[in-house]
Amino acid sequence: MKHLTKLLATALLALGLNQAVWADDASDFRQTLQLAEQGYAEAQYNLGMMYYTGSGVHHDYAEALRWFRQAAEQRVAAAQNNLGMMYYTGSGVHQDYAEALRWFRQAAEQGHAEAQINLGAMYGNGLGVRQDDAEAVRWYRKAAEQGNAVTQYNLGVMYDNGDGVRQDYAEAVRWYRKAAEQGYAEAQYHLGGMYHNGQGVHQDYAEAVKWYRQAAEQGYVKAQYNLGAMYYNGQGVHQDYAEAVKWYRQAAEQGNAKAQYNLGLLYDNGRGVRQDYAEAVKWYRQAADQGNADAQNNLGAMYYNGQGVHQDLHLSKEWFGQACNGGVQEACNQYRYLNQKGY
């Protein structure tokens, strides 16, 4: 299950340790220590957080581990999850996936959503336990049913691709929608794609545009590119080259090679923007440098015709050669022609 590696990173690394829920950063260390030593589980958990983050005391993983363990043994689910995470990462202790699994399980069985994600990831990747996709899905589902948007999205991916479950586009749509409605940009993008392609739902370009837009407005580059394409082609919206330029530009500025190529094309042809060969060359070059063969071909043509650059048939041949290697037959023809002419 390829995507589970990504999910593991999301669950164990990006989420970080649970923040203290009973004390804030201004909590007095001495008072917390006193309560922890008296056996108050909440204080033990908070003290672990203080040592882990270096809040009010010097940073010390070993001490964090000690206090998390004491709280975990009193069934504080957040402490159990954090203890599992420390065993997973080898922070303050030798790395031990089996021990990580044990603590994740204890927290997960108490309904702790992040621990359920972590436990699912351990099963999905076979860490500390025999790899078991079905068991991974079972724990992901528990977290997703609690409203965890990351897991809802990942369940959507699993149903979309048939990873660990029978492929089911309608079920993928259901989980994508749950995460999308919580504002999760990747899910919004994928839900837009399902409407765009008519997978699990009736094809609906307007609905695709709606979800692409929500993701695009959060800066999600693939959605920006797709929204630009919808405006360019007039799918789900009135055709509007200026809007296509706007969204292609946002994606292009984030390094999306296809958006850079399309933006160059719009400047080249003066669609949605004043025709500007130099600007076209700029965007073709950025896409070409990323290996986009169509951009390499067009850049070869710009050098051949001297549009936006000084005419240079040697450079033209070089770019046509790269595009030819990328499978553009027209570029192969131009490369052979220039080669025959001695360039």
pLDDT number for residue 25: 54
**Tokens of residue 193, six digits:** 């794609």
pLDDT number for residue 158: 92
- Per-residue model confidence as pLDDT tens digits over 186-233: 999 999 999 999 999 999 999 999 999 999 999 999 999 999 999 999
pLDDT number for residue 18: 54
What is the arithmetic mean of pLDDT over 283-291?
99
Model confidence band, residue 56 (pLDDT cutoffs 50, 70, 90): confident
Closest of 121, 92, 124, 87 to residue 102, by C-alpha: 87
- Per-residue model confidence as pLDDT tens digits over 98-112: 999 999 999 999 999
What is the arithmetic mean of pLDDT over 128-139?
93
What is the arithmetic mean of pLDDT over 13-42?
70
Among 26-30, 121-125, 209-213, 244-248, the minimum mean pLDDT is found in 26-30
Model confidence band, residue 17 (pLDDT cutoffs 50, 70, 90): low
Model confidence band, residue 7 (pLDDT cutoffs 50, 70, 90): very low
To the question of pTM greater than 0.85 for the whole model, the response is no
What is the arithmetic mean of pLDDT over 275-298?
99
- Per-residue model confidence as pLDDT tens digits over 143-186: 999 999 999 999 999 999 998 899 999 999 999 999 999 999 99
Tell me: pLDDT of 34 over 70: yes
Tell me: pLDDT of 284 over 90: yes
Topology of 1-146 in CATH? 1.25.40
Write down the domain spans for the chain: 1-146
Model confidence band, residue 258 (pLDDT cutoffs 50, 70, 90): very high
Tell me: pLDDT of 16 over 50: no
Closest of 279, 263, 259 to residue 271, by C-alpha: 263
Q: Which tops the pLDDT comparison, 22 or 342?
A: 342
pLDDT number for residue 4: 40
pLDDT number for residue 27: 54
